[in-house]
Amino acid sequence: MEERWQYMAGVSIDVAWKSMNKYKEELCGDKVEILKTEDSDILILADGMGSGVKANILATLTSKILGTMLQEGAQIESCVETIAKTLPVCKVRKVAYATFSVLQIFHNGNAYLAEFDNPSCVFIRDGKIVSYPYEIREIDGKKIHEYRFAVKKNDCFVLMS
């Protein structure tokens, strides 16, 4: 049976999140940004490596760079390139000091998700977990998982770090 996806005009998102500080830390190493553009809503989740002040600064910097650039219409390639050149890499583990997920829901019903080193988004449709195909692109040495799909009313997307 062929599933027809109805594109819905005026799609928007409801967002809720929970950030938890590590034990005995005053600051959280995760940062959530929610942005609205003329044609979409953008949700950014960034996770700074480690804990406390350092992780908070790295997550905030990552989310602000992504948010500002995406809101101004930049493509994900230039965002990742900018982050790669801005953020340090851990000398011991040889990994980036921050990870991110960007979910952009367009008002016409299309959606775009980019993930860098965060756990995969959980997609829930009609009460069931579903999977969507994705492409892996290497941008400036970073492997980015990209998803493009259409949303339906009451779809749920769980992003985590």
Look over the chain and give the mean of its residue pLDDT values, rounded to a whole number: 86
Q: For the residues of 45-76, what is the DSSP string, one character each?
A: EEEESSSHHHHHHHHHHHHHHHHHHHHTT--H
Which of the pair, 7 or 161, is modelled with greater confidence?
161
Cα four-point dihedral sign 119, 133, 144, 68: negative
Domain assignment present for 21: no
65 pLDDT higher than 60? yes
Whether 107 contacts 7, CB under 8 Å: no
Whether 83 contacts 63, CB under 8 Å: no
56 pLDDT higher than 80? yes
DSSP conformational letter for 17: -
Q: What is the pLDDT of residue 157?
A: 94
Domain assignment present for 68: yes
Side chain identity at residue 21, one-letter code: N
The tens digit of pLDDT for each residue in 107-136 reads 999 999 999 999 999 999 999 999 989 999
Confidence of residue 103 (pLDDT cuts 50, 70, 90): very high
Cross-strand pairs, 99:
47
Which of the pair, 105 or 3, is modelled with greater confidence?
105
DSSP conformational letter for 3: P
Q: What is the span of the domain harbouring residue 100?
A: 30-158
Domain assignment present for 8: no
Instruction: Count how many domains the chain has.
Output: 1
Q: What is the pLDDT of residue 15?
A: 83
Q: What is the pLDDT of residue 32?
A: 94
Q: Could you give the 3-state DSSP secondary structure of residue 143?
A: strand
Side chain identity at residue 110, one-letter code: N
64 pLDDT higher than 90? yes
Domain assignment present for 118: yes
Domain assignment present for 51: yes
Domain assignment present for 15: no
Q: What is the pLDDT of residue 8?
A: 53
